[in-house]
Structure 1
Amino acid sequence: MILPIVAYGSPVLKKKAKDITPEYPNLSELLENMYETMYGAHGVGLAAPQVGLPIRIFLVDTTPFADDESFTPEEQKQLSSFKKTFINAEILEEEGEEWAFSEGCLSIPGINEDVFRKPTVTIKYQDENFKEYTETYEGLIARVIQHEYDHIDGILFTDKLSSLKKRLIKGKLANISKGKCSADYRMRFPAASKKR
């Protein structure tokens, strides 16, 4: 089932999400719905706060980047097969020299800005069966993980922009929270006027 994605301005997007246990109700159904929602919105990542749940879950599937010719054949191969569920994740280390890449977000449709992130990330997480891993990722996969991880810490990519950039997009962000934006997927807007 495709879930509505909550828009910029929703309080859940600014909350630090909580860990879950294997007893979390209907977890496999929730994960299935989140994957369906992400694919329906043509996303490469989706975090639980984006569907209104303040819990530490996010998904990543970088397959759509595999056709991008700006990546080396080796990078394309990695991107084409990277699909993972991250539960109760904790970033242990971010390393390397920061690099810029244009990021967008399903909760902030129509806005893309360059964000600086470190190229290597080491993360501890559990999969959908609560098996624990500690792994290191690089490049675009690391970036998508960092972006989604920020969501479970209540951070949006717009929080990482310069104060000038923030001022320039302030009006657009206000419009998004009111529902004055276009997205080809279902959304919930925190400040949309209720139709009587």
Structure 2
Amino acid sequence: MKKTLIILSIIITSCSKDYYFNKNQEKISKVLKEIKNADSGVRNFGEFVNYRYGIRDFDTVADSLDEINKFNEINKFDFTKIPSKEKQMENWSNNKINLYHEHKLESVKLMEYVDNINSEKLYKIIKRNGYPSFYKRPWRDTITLRVGTAFIFTHFNYETKEEKKLLKLIIKEYFSGRIDEGEMRQIMWSVEGRNGYPYNYIIDDNKLKEKLRML
């Protein structure tokens, strides 16, 4: 009897999320776009600090190649040849070094603040409406409403109490069939340490179930 009630509860919750997703698509899309813009804004600010001080890293070099229409050369570029940040700062004055670290710390704090807000908003969306998958959910308008946000989930620190709750919810949504496998690979690749490339990550359902039990 207890097992039957649990199954019924899961079915009712799942139907409820599908109902609210279909009903609230405009609101969901609006919030997702706000989250995406905030996420992009704080990370652009962090990269702006590097541009301002002339620091070269993966992002600044990739952006430079993109600006001169050589984005396809990113795969050919040997990023290991970029000198370490310490090497690039060798001839800087102490004042310039201190200012750089001060501005980078400001950008990191701002990023953490925005990430915390974004993760809270996404948790609320998923809890009520289910995961807003770019591929798996039936968006009424794929041009104006559908928003891709899987990459944003790779920016969170899943060691905190609140974001462990978010990860638990994400795994449940995956097993409910509301998250595309590619989106889940991208998220779990980040959670598991970002080794290799996201789409080479192999999802192990048993491993996911074990992680779910531990969260």
TM-score by shorter chain over 0.5? no
Shorter-chain TM band: under 0.3
More helix as a share of residues? 2
Q: TM-score, normalised by structure 2?
A: 0.20
Higher strand share: 1
Larger Rg: 2
Structure possessing the higher relative contact order (Cα contacts under 8 Å, 6 or more residues apart): 1
